[in-house]
Amino acid sequence: MKSIQQMSKHYRVTARTLRYYEELGILTPNRQGNTRLYSQREEAKMKLIVRGKQFGFTLDEIKEMVHLFNADRTGIKQLERTIQFGDEKIALIDKQIAELMNIRTELEQMKHDFQKKLQVLKGDSS
C-alpha cells in the first residue's frame, strides 16, 4: 500500500490530481480515517492512466477502459475497446500528419516564391 504522497512522487502528479481521479471514479483508494492508501490494483490503474495520457487518450476513455477491465476480468472487452480507441487515435494522427505535410508544402512553395521575388528586387537575375 502506498500513501497519496508516495503515489504523487512516484507518478509525478499532485495529490490534487489523484483526488481528482478518485472523484471521476477511476481510482478508488482504501481509506484509513482521512488517509488514502493505494493498493497494487490502484497502482495498476494509475499506470494505465499515465500511459493512456501519454498516448493522448481522454480521461473518459481511460475511465471506460478501467471499468471494462473491472467488469470483465479476462481483459477481452478492455482490449477490444482499447484497440478501437487506438484505431481512432491512429486515424487522427494520420489526418494531422497529412495536414502538416500540406502546410509544409505550402510553406516551401511560399519560400521559393519569396526567394525569386527577392532576387528580382535585388537585381540578381541568376
Q: What is the CATH number of the domain that holds 106?
A: 1.10.1660.10
pLDDT tens track of the chain, all 126 residues?
999 999 999 999 999 999 999 999 999 999 999 899 999 999 999 999 999 999 989 999 999 988 887 788 888 988 899 899 999 999 999 999 999 999 999 999 999 999 999 999 998 766
Q: What predicted TM-score, i.e. pTM, was given to this entire model?
A: 0.72
Q: Which domain holds residue 67?
A: 2-122
Helix (H) or strand (E) holding 61: helix 59-71
Number of structural domains the chain divides into: 1
